[in-house]
């Protein structure tokens, strides 16, 4: 009964998806209905950050493949450690929606004090040394010259870097297409607290189940491994899923954006050092000026989705829609730009770590990360080593492929102590400014900043 109530509440929150109309569960058929069932069974709820992709089915399958194989599927890294990474990345992107979800999941697995410290940006207060080090590293992994040592052995890189990539992607999608909370806007505080309690119980139940790796990638065509997936070597199911997801979203992006537009975005991402772009959107103007007038709204949206997703507002979406883009095109455009940024962050974090920041010599691939000392990768978390990704999974169904930062993206989320510590000259506002539509960010089609106003603090794992 309780699980049904939580699922119902989350399904009702699909009305909060912005700018596109997702496929409702009752209308899903065939491969889409099958994917929805798997998400709800293994993740515990039909997560709106996944469902918002449904107008573009290949992007939907790609998002779920990355999320499942990095966070949900069993492997070498304890789920609580991965939830801490997800929460820390979400905080660095000031994505309160994902902070609330994954802070609650961390609370379910590691306790209220640990979750509050992670979601509040107080890594020094985290008592578990593994979670503490991962939290510090994950919150800075997007920076080009981050000095933090990599606090995990190479054998754990596929799952940990995979979570980093997945949540830099999902945070951007959520900032564009969802509101600031995973719970229905109409829910009063007492109901919200009760729903979060149900969410924690659901997390504990689903984590106790075995979710073997490799059970989502089959929905996407096979793909070659790109060079920026070096961090995934040694984990065949995960590497296969990410290669397929990267290729699928690349194809979707090519349908939605012309090559010159993608080239502008890629060039700017190659220059990006991970620092925030500042209060104004005016930095996009000289970049898009080289493009034909008709391509500029889409180019501006792609740049902002990649580098300042909090600045996307209704006016910009309307400008892009005027060019003829439908729901599927809009999801594909934002997905491509978001993943282009996330891919670079993952590759950069791995390259920086290999340049001399790694773990101490002799560190065992299992030390400190498994649920118990000597835990085997085939234990209660499911089979990883030697898993046959094709066994029993069927083949790619062609129907799935049919339709053709940070609110200050780095640095502190809202909170007086953290804002006061923001580095001078970082371009990070003292508090994220209010947008004309009532959300936070910067408004105005001309890129002019509006009057700053404090955003509500990113909530700790409440409930």
What's the token pair of residue 392? 């029993």
- Copy the structure tokens of residue 146: 């981050």
What is the Cα–Cα distance from 154 to 385, expressed in whole angstroms?
15
- Do the Cβ atoms of 69 and 242 come closer than 8 Å? yes
Contact between residue 370 and residue 384 where contact means Cβ atoms under 8 Å apart: no
Q: What three-state secondary structure class fits 434?
A: strand
Per the annotation, the verdict on 408 as an active-site residue is no
Give one DSSP letter per residue of 371-409, joined into a string. SSTT--TTSTT---TT--TTTTT----GGGG----TTSS
| Residue 222, phi-psi category: left (phi > 0), alpha (psi -120 to 50), beta (remainder) | beta
Catalytic residue among 95, 98, 408, 428: 98
The Cα–Cα gap between 330 and 333 comes to 5
Query: CB neighbours of 88 closer than 8 A, spacing ≥ 6?
Result: 118, 134, 135, 136, 138, 139
Identify whether the C-beta of residue 333 lies closer than 8 Å to the C-beta of residue 253.
Answer: yes
462 in Cβ contact with 193 (< 8 Å)? yes
**Residue pair 214/384 in contact by the 8 Å Cβ criterion:** no
Q: How many Cβ atoms sit within 10 Å of the Cβ of residue 2?
A: 11
Token output for 455:
């955003």
Cα(299)–Cα(313) distance, integer angstroms? 15
DSSP secondary structure string for all residues of 22-52? PPPGGG--HHHHHHHHHHHHHHSS--HHHHT
Active site residues: 98
């Amino acid at each position: 009964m309780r699980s049904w109530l939580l699922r119902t509440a989350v399904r009702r929150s699909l009305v909060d998806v912005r700018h596109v109309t997702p496929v409702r569960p009752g209308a899903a058929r065939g491969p889409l209905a099958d994917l929805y069932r798997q998400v709800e069974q293994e993740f515990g709820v039909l997560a709106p950050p996944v469902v918002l992709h449904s107008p573009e089915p290949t992007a939907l399958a790609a998002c779920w493949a990355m999320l499942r194989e990095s966070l949900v599927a069993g492997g070498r890294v304890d789920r609580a450690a991965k939830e801490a990474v997800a929460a820390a990345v979400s905080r660095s992107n000031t994505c309160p929606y994902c902070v609330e979800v994954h802070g609650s999941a961390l609370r379910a697995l590691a306790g209220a004090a640990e979750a509050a410290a992670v979601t509040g940006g107080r890594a020094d207060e985290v008592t578990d040394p593994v979670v503490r080090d991962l939290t510090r590293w994950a919150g800075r992994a997007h920076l080009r010259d981050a000095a933090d040592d990599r606090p995990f052995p190479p054998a754990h890189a596929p799952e940990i870097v995979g979570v980093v990539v997945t949540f830099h992607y999902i945070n951007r999608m959520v900032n564009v297409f969802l509101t600031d909370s995973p719970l229905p806007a109409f829910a009063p505080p007492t109901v919200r607290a009760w729903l979060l309690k149900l969410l924690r119980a659901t997390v504990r139940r689903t984590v106790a189940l075995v979710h073997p790796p490799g059970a989502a990638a089959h929905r996407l065509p096979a793909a070659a491994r790109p060079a920026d997936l070096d961090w995934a070597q040694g984990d065949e199911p995960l590497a296969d899923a990410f290669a397929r997801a990267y290729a699928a979203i690349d194809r979707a992006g090519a349908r939605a954006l012309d090559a010159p537009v993608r080239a502008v975005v890629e060039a700017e991402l190659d220059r990006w050092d991970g620092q925030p772009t500042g209060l104004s959107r005016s930095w996009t103007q000289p970049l898009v000026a080289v493009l034909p007038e008709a391509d500029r709204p889409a180019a501006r949206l792609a740049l902002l989705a990649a580098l300042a997703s909090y600045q996307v507002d209704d006016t910009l979406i309307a400008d892009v829609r005027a060019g003829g883009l439908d729901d599927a095109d809009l999801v594909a455009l934002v997905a491509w730009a978001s993943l282009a940024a996330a891919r670079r962050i993952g590759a950069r974090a791995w390259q920086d770590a290999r340049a001399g920041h790694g773990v101490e010599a002799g560190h065992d691939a299992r030390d400190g990360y498994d649920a118990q000392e000597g835990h085997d990768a085939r234990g209660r978390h499911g089979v990883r080593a030697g898993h046959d990704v094709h066994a029993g999974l069927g083949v790619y169904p062609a129907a799935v492929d049919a339709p053709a930062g940070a609110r200050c993206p780095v640095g502190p989320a809202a909170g007086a102590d953290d804002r006061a510590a923001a580095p001078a000259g970082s371009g990070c506002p003292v508090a994220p400014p209010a947008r004309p539509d009532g959300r936070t960010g910067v408004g105005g089609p001309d890129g002019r900043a509006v009057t700053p106003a404090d955003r509500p603090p990113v909530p700790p794992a409440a409930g």
